Structure 1
Amino acid sequence: MRSAGWLSLSVAIVAGLTVAMSRAAEEPPAASSEVNAPATAVPPASTVPVTPKDAAPPPSVTIIGAADAHGVLGRDVLSAANEDMGRIVDVIVDRSGHVRAAVIDFGGFLGVGSRKIVVDWNAMRFGKIVNKKDSITLELTKAQVAAAPEYKEDTPMVVLGASGSLQPLQAVQ
């Protein structure tokens, strides 16, 4: 009898260890900080079900035809007299996100001697297609732009407007 009791106990221990080992193989190893975590620990975020109130709403979608809109950075700007006025290198927006002005790399030859000038967004006209490109025309003369002070980042900027319609930018604090 004694050997039958030991045999049953041995089988029970082996069976318990086998079950424990198979469960351990199925579960990922716990991080060192979780070893002493209480049994009521919060499950990882990946296993927390997402309820509809937690889901982000779908984004709005707008479709703009290829002929209806284009990016402006790097685009050439012409005067009303079809003179080369430079290239748009930056767009200035106010704190509310409204476009206020464009920075034009003006003058120079092959990038040498050019200056950055800030012009009022309303002084530019986005026109019809010329040579497979939308034309951007500036309502200022080459002499007016040449006389404008140079734009330097992180300094107050002088914005050159076509008719003085630009309102001062109010500082938001």
Structure 2
Amino acid sequence: MTEPVAISETERLISSDKVEGTRVYNRQGERLGTIRNFMVNKQSGRVEYAVLEFGGILGIGNEYYPLPWELLTYDAKQAGYCVDLDKTRLEGAPRYRDRDPLWDEIYGQQVYGYYGVTYPLF
């Protein structure tokens, strides 16, 4: 008899729908926003970046910040992800509002470079 396939959450896995809406905090415990979604490389299957939703009021004027996935660490005590950023640094980060950016290698390198992370070549 085979084991059932996990579709929600296990000790080390979580489904994408449970990641969406998860709160993101900095190391000082300040809430920075929530995970809107994350983007998976079609070829490698690896998560390339998470989209942090920040700002706005009641969904109006929200801004979206692509964050390299490896910057995020899950913190069970906060029931959310932690990132080593303060709000000032985040406010100067690459972001978009109305239209998704064209994510190509050049833009990816800009985003990853802003956070001091090497852009992966998948």
Higher relative contact order (CA 8 A, sep 6+): 2
**Aligned pair partner of 2:83 in 138, 153, 157:** 138
CA-to-aligned-CA distance 1:92-146 (integer Å, 9 cap, x gap)? 122311111100111122222220010011111101234xxx2211121111111
RMSD: 3.1
Q: Please give the secondary structure, in 1, of the residue aligned with 2:28.
A: coil
Query: Does residue 87 of the first structure (1) align with residue 34 of the second (2)?
Result: yes
Higher Rg of the two aligned structures: 1
Query: Gapped runs of 5+ residues in structure 2?
Result: none
Structure with more of its chain in helix, by fraction: 1
CA separation of 1:97 and 1:67: change in aligned 2, threshold 3 A:
closer
CA separation of 1:159 and 1:92: change in aligned 2, threshold 3 A:
farther
Distance across 2 between alignment mates of 1:148 and 1:163: 8
TM-score (norm 1): 0.52
TM-score (norm 2): 0.70
**Aligned pair partner of 2:59 in 111, 114, 121:** 111
How do 1:5-154 and structure 2 match up within 5 A?
61-62=4-5, 68=11, 69-70=13-14, 71-94=18-41, 95-130=43-78, 134-151=79-96, 152-154=99-101
- Across the two proteins, how many residue pairs are aligned to each other? 110
Query: Aligned AA for 2:88?
Result: A
Q: Please give the secondary structure, in 2, of the residue aligned with 1:148.
A: coil
Query: Aligned AA for 2:23?
Result: D
Q: Please give the secondary structure, in 1, of the residue aligned with 2:76.
A: strand
The farther-off stretch of 59-68 and 100-109 is: 59-68
Q: Please give the secondary structure, in 2, of the residue aligned with 1:159.
A: helix
Query: Gapped runs of 5+ residues in structure 1?
Result: 1-57
User: Would you say the 8 A contact 1:77–1:86 is kept in 2?
Assistant: yes
CA separation of 1:169 and 1:103: change in aligned 2, threshold 3 A:
farther
User: Would you say the 8 A contact 2:38–2:49 is kept in 1?
Assistant: yes
